[in-house]
Structure 1
Amino acid sequence: MINRVVLIGRMTKDVELRYTQSGTAVGSFTLAVNRPFKNNNGEREADFINAVIWRKPAENFANFTGKGAQVAIEGRLQTRNYENNQGQRVYVTEVVVDNFSLLESKAEADKRRAENGTEQPAQQPSNNKFAQPGNSEIDISDDDLPF
């Protein structure tokens, strides 16, 4: 059996990052993916696809993306169901993300955030220093980062 999904689109809003009772991070978001054709009015339509991402990747995804960010996600399609407050069965189909790629540079992301009037830029480590085993630090410039 094969169940693989690969999508490229734009985030419709910031990731909704929550934690389970056991402390596991889970992020929910919607990706707007353009259809490869135009409708009868000559306009391009989009599909809005729900996705969920778990654990440390969820925290990273929430920290480095936001509304309007162009991203690629890879994962599997999953359908689940639950009973709502009115006693009705609700079915949800979503992509469970295994892997993601950021498809815009840090400069493009900061420019988009400024135009949208959204919060501060994506969280960066203070002083661009990362701890190594043994408590020594390495200095990383913004040019070294892939986003």
Structure 2
Amino acid sequence: MINRVVLVGRLTKNPELRYTPNGVAVASFTIAVNRPFSNQQGDRETDFIPVVVWRRQAENAANFLTKGSLAGVDGRIQTRNYENNEGRRVYITEVIADSVQFLEPKGTRHADENDFGNGAPAPSNGNNGFGSQSGNRPNTNANNNNNQNAPSFEDPFANDSKPIDISDDDLPF
């Protein structure tokens, strides 16, 4: 039998980090995932999926992910239940994450902070914000040269002849 889930979406709020009585870290958050089709009104619907992650991955998620962060989650679906104060049985279905991937560089603007709407990440001159396009050649995309009112996105690695200074504090592991 197979129980495997792979999701890519944006966090709806900052992860909530707690510790068990034995000192094991556990973080929970909700990830918003757009459905791949539109409804009859032409709108895309979104699923809000609860995620739970344990141990070191939980601490990393709490330290490095924030509301709006793009994240990939690999895990399994789990259903639990309990009896509430009114005596009713409550069922909760959530994803127990084996792995949480940070899909944006630290400090990247999130979709809810720009004017691109519909949860899509901001355009980045065709290179997704990572590395230079082809050596030191300038981007020759005609759209970038003709539209003076478009926001400009600078390549943070444009000076690729110099070493990149990264502190161990900036690494999520």
Q: What TM-score do you get using the length of structure 1 for normalisation? A: 0.75
> How many aligned positions are there?
120
- What corresponds to 1:93 in structure 2? 93
Name the % identity.
Answer: 58
Deviation sequence 1:31-86 (CA, Å, 0-9, x none): 10000011111111100111100111100011010100000000011001011111
- What corresponds to 2:77 in structure 1? 77
Pairwise CA RMSD: 2.2
Preserved CA contact (<8 Å) 1:8 1:73? yes
How far off its partner does 1:146 sit? Answer: 6.8
Preserved CA contact (<8 Å) 1:105 1:146? no
Return the structure number with greater relative CO, CA threshold 8 A, min gap 6: 1
Preserved CA contact (<8 Å) 1:72 1:102? yes
- Structure 1's unaligned 5+ residue stretches are 117-139
- Structure 2's unaligned 5+ residue stretches are 115-164
Preserved CA contact (<8 Å) 1:26 1:58? yes
Q: Structure 1 runs of 4+ off > 2 angstroms?
A: none
Aligned-partner SS, 2:107: helix
- What corresponds to 1:106 in structure 2? 106
- What corresponds to 1:39 in structure 2? 39
Q: What TM-score do you get using the length of structure 2 for normalisation? A: 0.64
Structure 1 or 2, whichever has the larger Rg, is: 2
Aligned-partner SS, 1:107: coil
Comparing both structures, which one devotes a greater share of its residues to strand?
A: 1
Comparing both structures, which one devotes a greater share of its residues to helix?
A: 1
Distance 1:103 1:27 in 2: 18
Distance 2:83 2:25 in 1: 23
How far off its partner does 1:107 sit? Answer: 3.3
